[in-house]
Structure 1
Amino acid sequence: MNKNALFTDNYDISFLLETMMGPNAMRIVEEMANMLPISPDMRILDLGCGTGISSILLAEKYDVTVFAADLWISPTENAQRFSRLGLDSKIILLQVDATKEIPFAHEYFDMIISVDAYQYFGGNQAMLPKLLPFVKTGGLIAVAIPGFIQDYPEGQLPEEAQPFWAPDWYFYSCNWWKALWEKEPGITITMLREMDACQQAWDEYLQSPSWHAQKMIPIMQAGAGKYFNIIQIVGRKVS
């Protein structure tokens, strides 16, 4: 398959709408993956995979072996979904709490990817040194996380966002994430940018029947979305 093909645009939208847990993770991971050196037979950890639509893209489009790890979505539920798509041999399922012991061998993965999940467990200095041992030297950690287009001091959020804001959004800016990752000497940032797919990924999610998506509609209608971005940050393990 052409690496630059619009895989997500041709995917069953009804399936995606039923499985999205946030802005369309398949669209986000496709844009991110198109900028990463992914080759067949790599081992990639999809950390915080949710319902696995990011894992599906990696397995189908790139022919890699994906370790789909999540805390909240059971491996049994995801196994049924992947089996219906004929991906049993390409996606290995695990239930993992990234804040606790991580059950993998050191130097095992070519890459760790996380889409719309890392902000929940990775906004601290402890997470990168915890993950790095599981990546091969020279391998990458690549995350895509919803955030804000700039830093907003506490209590000074944009007016449109103030009525809806909750601390468990964990929205930060590119500069905030850059400063955090630069504290870890074992990784070098190779890419940090706002992703082009942000608006479309959110628009697609708002079509989902899930109550989580429906809850976001008044937030977007109020105009808070114009302050949102999706941040892509990629780091290479150097030691």
Structure 2
Amino acid sequence: MTIPTPFTDGYDKAFLLENMMGPNAMRVAEEMASFLTLRPGMRVLDLGCGMGISSILLAEKFGVTVFAADLWIPPTDNFRRFAALGLEARIIPLHVDATGTLPFAEGYFDVLFSVDSYQYFGADETMLPKLLPLVRPGGEVAVAVPGLLRELPPARKPWVGVSGLEVPPELQPYWVQEMDGQFHSLPWWRALWEQAPGLRLGPCREMDCLRRAWADWLESPHPYARRDVSMMQAEGGKHFSLVQLCGQRM
């Protein structure tokens, strides 16, 4: 049987490298979308879409209508990006702060989707119950976040840094305090989502595209990508993971 070439592999690589904000969100979105039931005309909220390459994947490959919501990237910038690709009718750019009041009707979306952003606002027990009502009963929720293969224990003694965790020496030069609350293991995230009322948990797994998504990012000219090259060399595949969480609103 012939295995189809991933949509991402055939995409304009220069465009992707220019518009990445971390490990290749289009590649991550494509793998996670394979676990969902996506049909043309569905409404998808892509929450924390960044420069919208995950939204582009959803609109182009699956024909869904995407609400591309982000806090940091101006919607005008994203609109121009989408319009240049002829996608202005299928992707609606929005400025949204997930921690604030959300401007959406309950039950409006068929799918809530988020790549490489949910860890910034969703790593507590309050966020998923807040977001879930936006999805119709029977609709799906899918989130991909950077994570760890194992939880880091509390620090046994102070080290030169600001973390309260026992960060491996090779990661200490790159670790910042905010990562304490954002980087977690698959079991940690699964346990958090199991607490959410009205959610039927689906495939929760470590994603296969971790290394390829990171390799794509490290080719980007973005200054953060240049910084991350030495971090990934030091990490050497020993600590980082890419966590996928899926579920269905009951």
Question: TM-score, normalization: structure 1?
Answer: 0.96
Match of 2:220 among 187, 194, 208: 208
SS at match of 2:238: helix
Residue 239 of structure 2 aligns with which residue? 227
Q: Counterpart in 2 of 1:173? A: 185
Q: Which runs of 5+ in 1 are unaligned?
A: none
What is the match of residue 147 of structure 1? 147
Counterpart Cα distance in 2 of 1:202 and 1:30: 15
Secondary structure of 2:87 counterpart: coil
For 1:77-117, what per-residue CA distance to the aligned partner results, in whole angstroms no more than 9, with x for missing partners? Answer: 00110010000100011100000000001100000000000
Matched to 2:190, the amino acid is K
Structure-1 residue corresponding to 2:106 = 106
Distance, in Å, in 1 between the alignment partners of 2:205 and 2:169 is 25
| Aligned pairs, number | 236
Which segment is superposed worse, 19-28 or 163-172? Answer: 163-172
Contact 1:105 1:134 in 2 (8 A): yes
Deviation for aligned residue 1:225: 4.3
SS at match of 1:69: strand
Could you tell me which runs of 5 or more consecutive residues in structure 2 were left unpaired when the two chains were aligned.
Answer: 156-165
In structure 2, the partner of 1:45 is 45
Deviations 1:111-138 (Å, cap 9, x if unpaired)? 0000000000000111011101110011
Q: How does 1:4-83 map to 2 (within 5 A)?
A: 5-83=5-83
Give CA deviations for 1:40-97 in whole Å, capped at 9, x if unaligned.
1100000000000000000000000000000000000001100100001000111000
2: CA distance, partners of 1:36 / 1:184? 20
Aligned partner of 1:217 among 212, 218, 229: 229
Other-structure match for 2:86: 86
The sequence identity of aligned pairs, in percent, is 55
What TM-score results when the alignment is normalised by the length of structure 2?
A: 0.92
CA RMSD across the alignment: 1.3
Q: Structure 1 residue 212: deviation in Å? A: 1.0
Cα separation, 2, equivalents of 1:204 and 1:226: 19
1:4 Cα deviation after fit? 5.3
Q: Matched residues in 1 for 2:196 and 2:4: separation?
A: 32
Whether the aligned pair in 2 keeps the contact of 1:26 and 1:54 (CA below 8 Å) is yes
- 2:182 counterpart of 1:163: no
Pick closer, same or farther for the CA change 1:127–1:72 going to 2, 3 Å.
Answer: same
**What is the CA–CA distance in structure 1 between the aligned matches of 2:108 and 2:29, rounded to whole Å?**
21
Cα shift at 1:183:
1.1
